[in-house]
Amino acid sequence: MIGAIIGDIIGSRFEFGATPEEGFELFTPDCSYTDDTICTIAIADAVMNHRNYQEALHDWCRRYPDPMGGYGSRFYEWIQADQPHPMNSYGNGSAMRVSPIGWLFDDWEQVIDEAKKSAEVSHNHPEGIKGAQCVAETICWLRLMRFSKTDVERKVHKFFGYEIPSMRDILKIGAEGHFDGTCQETVPMALRCFMDANDFEETIRLAVLCDGDTDTKACIAGAIAEAYYQVPETMIEKAISYLPDDMLGILSQFYETIQSGCRQKK
């Protein structure tokens, strides 16, 4: 979960800002958490504290109505509605927030089911659901089954039908100014950044250098990389310095739950 938050914060200043360059500084005063972190916290809260996914998302997004970069227009309407309905969306929002589910459930079928539930309250298009399921299941494969990267790529194609593009193709798309706002674009791109990296930090750097939706690509890539690599303590310390107390409370509860081995039943 901290991997997702780190990626979000580092990628935040490039989403609508300057084009990232090799060797960019990871954390600056221009960075912040965005809707990616808010929604990830909401999903963790829902699972651990037995809240409805819709209720938790509504609550957290209304607590933080104006994050850096804002919310997507349709999701903002969903937040504002007193009785929100699914939007038939396949935007990457369902995939960016799902990482806690990959950690808090140990049964792969339950991971798939809970990822679907977390997505469909707002992103009930099949591609929106699939994107969330793919990210959560990949985390589960890596942390429980210790799959190799080759295994992950093969399984992702077999079960989710994603063709993971080459880094060269992703960089070309980013250089052309394309903004990858859908699950079917962002999830395979984030997976490639993880596949081609040699450690956690490089995963985040690659995701940001791909440009486009930098915070969400780095959020998803970081979430996956956390299940495979050691996250540097310095990056953790920097990231948590950006978070308010109520988010830190959920984050602490999450890692206490993981460390205690008390997985969730829902």
Residue positions forming the annotated binding site: 34-36, 213, 215-216
Spatial distance between the Cα atoms of 130 and 104, rounded to a whole number of angstroms: 19
Show the beta-strand stretches assigned E in the chain.
none
- DSSP state letter for 166: P
Q: Read off the tokens for 147.
A: 């799959």
Query: Going by C-beta distance under 8 Å and a sequence separation of 6 or more, which residues neighbour residue 203?
Result: 193, 194, 197, 221, 222, 224, 225, 229
The helix (H) or strand (E) run that includes residue 189 is helix 183-196
Q: Encoding tokens for residue 216?
A: 């969400």
- Residue 54's identity, in one-letter code, is Q
How many Å apart are CA 37 and CA 68, to the nearest integer? 11
Cα–Cα distance, 20 to 163 (Å, whole number): 26
- In angstroms, the Cα distances linking 56 to 1, 53, 203, 247 are 17, 5, 29, 13
For the CA atoms of 220, 223, 228, 233, the dihedral, rounded to the nearest 10 degrees, stands at 130
Return binding residues for Mg(2+).
34-36, 213, 215-216
